[in-house]
Amino acid sequence: MKHEGEIFLDHRASPGFTEEQSIKLGLEGRAVGSTIFEAPTRTCNHCGTIVIINPDRKRDRATCFQCMRYICDECELARHQPGYIHITTNDVIEQILSRKEQSING
């Protein structure tokens, strides 16, 4: 599974986002008006969420040292909670496919 990508928003032919819409999307004014916005993205290895990478972010991004992959802020918080069980998106997919195969061969 590829964990990196890119988002490209081209608003040259439209009025673009309002400042309020931009803030709700976490773009903080970057996509206001008739502009182009481009940023890298990463996929969280634990929950599968695609995160737009803010180039102005100062704090470090999380890496899970069990699977050695990028994880989102929410999964980083969960990882430090009591009773946390490490599971990746691929683990969940494999479990679903295994159950499906068992029910077919049943």
Q: Give residue limits of the domains in the chain.
A: 4-105
Q: Is the pLDDT of residue 12 over 60?
A: yes
Rounded CA separation 19/1 (Å): 34
Task: Return the residue matching tokens 């691929």.
Answer: 90
SS3 29: coil
SS3 72: coil
Residue predicted with more confidence, 102 or 93? 93
SS3 49: coil
Q: For residue range 37-53, what is the model confidence (pLDDT) as tens digits?
A: 788 999 999 999 999 99
Residue predicted with more confidence, 92 or 25? 92
Closest CA to 9 of 34, 43, 26: 34
The sign of the dihedral angle between the CA atoms of 17, 19, 25, 29 is positive
pTM here is 0.69
